Structure 1
Amino acid sequence: MRSTFTGSLVRRAQQRHVAVWLTEVSAEITSVQYAALEILQKTPGVNQRRLGDELDVDRSTIADLVARMVRNGLIERSDDPVDKRSYVLFLTAAGKKQLAILRPRVEEVERILTARLTARECLELRRLLSALLPQQT
């Protein structure tokens, strides 16, 4: 008998998401990297710390993520003109192209994962999952 504890269900749902992501989107670009591309599209020049806050990842994780995305030519990093201890980030042309290619695939992941839910149930699921997360400050 499978566990019906919330944590177990969330873990299994996340495993399904990863499997569908790898099949439909990319084995090279993770969902977190994709989210970073989306954020940088909407807010070019955001600093690295703010990007980490938006993604809800710690400092070392965002530093590694940014370094990997810079190495892969998806984003560029330059000194923050306001705070020389910080970096500001921008999508490269390759990053913009990759985002355009991946966006419909990510939308397909969303359709696959929520195929058995009504539109109202999708909204309720997002609301409930958000309620499980710590309050943003």
Structure 2
Amino acid sequence: MPIKNDNAKALAKFTGSLVRRAQQRHVALWLEEVSTEITSVQYAALEVLQQTSGVNQRQLGDELDVDRSTIADLVARMVRNGLIERSDDPVDKRSYVLFLTAEGKRQLAALRPRVETVERILTARLSPRERIELRRLLSALLQERT
């Protein structure tokens, strides 16, 4: 057992290792508390479309910070599962605009309290101030270099 503890201490100095482990914990909690069928990225897409209905795939991909092929696969899967619908963009005929379906709205409403539970569990050992600081620091890590 001491070897594992020594390794954990050694890896704790690497931000990437801590971020990866935190993400693994988040995924495990998500599967346990939220859904085994709707991923956290799909949930984020539902939230974005609830706030900004009628965005195109590129705009949704930009909001979620995913590339074009990933957003195309994500949208296709969500359309197949009846969570969103796409229509021709009236401005750009080469593009689609996206909307939540009634099922997408229902799923969003059902999942939101579970997502909040994951948030509480994941940050339970942090004070309210530390939670804010953690989000600020993670956001800073994600800022593009200029």
TM-score, normalised to structure 1's length?
0.98
Write out per-residue CA displacement over residues 59-110 of structure 1, whole angstroms, 9 at most, x where no aligned residue: 0000000000000000000110000011000000000000000000000000
Answering whether residue 134 of structure 2 is matched by residue 87 of structure 1, we say no
Aligned mates of 2:58, 2:79 — CA distance in 1: 16
Partner residue of 1:130 out of 127, 135, 139: 139
Residues 75, 11 of structure 1: alpha-carbon distance in 2 compared, 3 angstrom cutoff? same
Measure how far apart 1:37 and its partner are: 0.1
Q: Which 4+ stretches in 1 moved above 3 angstroms? A: none
Unaligned runs of 5+ in 1: none
Secondary structure (helix, strand or coil) at the match of 2:22 reads helix
Partner residue of 2:83 out of 74, 84, 87: 74
What one-letter code is carried by the residue in structure 2 that aligns with 1:44?
S
Aligned mates of 1:136, 1:104 — CA distance in 2: 35
Aligned mates of 1:136, 1:92 — CA distance in 2: 37
- Superposed CA RMSD in Å reads 1.2
Partner residue of 2:21 out of 2, 12, 17: 12
Partner of 2:124: 115
Measure how far apart 1:134 and its partner are: 2.9
Secondary structure (helix, strand or coil) at the match of 1:34 reads helix
What one-letter code is carried by the residue in structure 2 that aligns with 1:9?
L
Aligned mates of 2:145, 2:72 — CA distance in 1: 21
Measure how far apart 1:135 and its partner are: 3.0
Answering whether residue 50 of structure 2 is matched by residue 41 of structure 1, we say yes
Aligned mates of 1:134, 1:124 — CA distance in 2: 15
User: Number of residue pairs matched?
Assistant: 137
Rg comparison, structure with higher value: 2
Partner residue of 1:56 out of 61, 65, 69: 65
Secondary structure (helix, strand or coil) at the match of 2:98 reads strand
Unaligned runs of 5+ in 2: 1-5
TM-score, normalised to structure 2's length?
0.92
Measure how far apart 1:136 and its partner are: 9.0
Percent identity of the aligned residues?
84
